[in-house]
C-alpha cells in the first residue's frame, strides 16, 4: 500500500525512531485507531503479578 509522500515520510521517521518495520508501524497505527474509535476492544496489559489484578 502506498500513501502520499508526506505520510510515507512520517512512516519512515516513525520506523527509524521506534525501530519497527513499516508493516509493524502500520499495524500499530491501525490497531490504535480502531481501538480509539471503538471498532476494536482495547487490550489492557497485565503489568502485575500474573493474577489478573494488576
Provide the residue range defining the domain that includes 51. Answer: 1-54
Q: What's the structural domain count of the chain?
A: 1
Contacts of 36 (CB under 8 A, 6+ apart): none
pLDDT digits (tens, 9 = 90+) for 1-54: 899 999 999 999 999 999 999 999 999 999 999 999 999 998 766 555 555 544
Query: Which pLDDT value is given to residue 27?
Result: 97
| Grid cell listed for 46 | 497485565
| pLDDT, position 54 | 46
What does pTM read for this prediction? 0.72
Amino acid at each position: 500500500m502506498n500513501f502520499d509522500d508526506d505520510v510515507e515520510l512520517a512512516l519512515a521517521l516513525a520506523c527509524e525512531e521506534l525501530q519497527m518495520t513499516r508493516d509493524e508501524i502500520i499495524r500499530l497505527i491501525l490497531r490504535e485507531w480502531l481501538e480509539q474509535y471503538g471498532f476494536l476492544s482495547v487490550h489492557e496489559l497485565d503489568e502485575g503479578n500474573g493474577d489478573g489484578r494488576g
